[in-house]
Structure 1
Amino acid sequence: MHREPNSVPTMLFDWGSIKWHVTPGSVPGASSTLGEVVINPNRGHDRHLHPHSDEILYIIEGEGRQTVGDDPEFVVKAGDAVWIPMGTLHSTFNTGWRPLRIIATYTPGGAEEALRDLPDFIELAPGEHPTWEVGPPS
């Protein structure tokens, strides 16, 4: 099955956006999840965990700070990979001037559904694109 970015919805949050290209709910027979995460400059998401899924992050552009469990915070940049075991608290923050672009996977898939319950969640239909406002850092 082939899926291109304009054929899938975009999840929007106050920190950035996610396009889930493959999920168990959108691709018949899929058992894992794969998507592209964009974290805007000077933004990040709160520490959270996925109780039933491991997560792998592969940084494709930008730089940031990452936490995984109780380990010290560390720098991530293009080319780095991060494994987050299921049930482990973690967070990502963009420290650069350009978007931090990440490929994210969940195994098994399905953890992405919990994002719909976040208070800042908005979903754009396939083919719609977010508009970001310019302003000083918050």
Structure 2
Amino acid sequence: MDVHNLESVPAFTTKDGSEIRELLAHRNSCITNQSLAEARLPVGERTDPHYHPLCEEIYYLLEGSGRMQIEDDVQDVSPGDAIAIPPGARHQITNTGSETLRFLCCCAPAYEHEDTILVDDWPA
């Protein structure tokens, strides 16, 4: 049985600049087709705009408030919101609140640095 507590999982920085703790993935469990991580974004920070050619993602907000942009669509988000990010869609999340933005990130297939493409042609 693979059980990992958030407090015992080491943090690392993803290619888009967010700090994550990978709870379950092929790197630390029997899970082979997806990954689950907790991401943290400090006040006033944002991820670098990027997309994933292969991976679809779900963000589920736990604490804080933010602004999510997927392509030209922008929406304010808060705890309890689940965000669907399809493969190939450019996206970015910004912490607009007064506390650390914490959210779960589920990726299928699992998160890989090589599947994260940073973009320069980001819509304003």
Shorter-chain TM-score: what band? 0.7 to 0.9
Amino acid at match of 1:46: D
Shift of 1:53: 0.7
Instruction: Give the structure 1 partner of residue 93 of structure 2.
Output: 92
2:53 maps to amino acid:
P
Could you say what secondary structure the match of 2:43 adopts? coil
- The 2-side partners of 1:115 and 1:39 are apart by 21
User: Could you tell me how far 1:69 is from its partner in structure 2?
Assistant: 1.9
Structure 1 residues 50 and 16: alpha-carbon distance in aligned structure 2, compared to 1, 3 A threshold: closer
Distance 2:113 2:50 in 1: 14
Matches within 5 A, 1:125-136: none
1:24 aligns to what?
26
Structure 1 residue runs of 5 or longer lacking an equivalent are 119-138
Match status 1:80 vs 2:81: yes
Match of 2:8 in 1: 7
1:53 equivalent in structure 2: 55
What are the Cα deviations for residues 19-58 of structure 1, in whole angstroms up to 9, with x where unaligned?
0111122213431100000100000111100110100000
- The one-letter code matched in structure 2 to 1:56 is I
Task: Report the CA distance shift for 1:29/1:35 in structure 2 as closer, same or farther (over 3 A).
Answer: closer
Q: CA RMSD in A?
A: 2.4
Structure 2: stretches of 5+ with no match in the other structure: 119-124
2:113 counterpart letter in structure 1: E
2:113 aligned with 1:113? yes
Contact 1:64 1:76 in 2 (8 A): yes
Give the number of aligned pairs.
Answer: 116
2:45 to 43, 65, 84: 43
Kept after mapping to 2: 8 A contact 1:58/1:79: yes
Distance 1:83 1:22 in 2: 19
Provide the TM-score with structure 1 as the length reference.
0.74
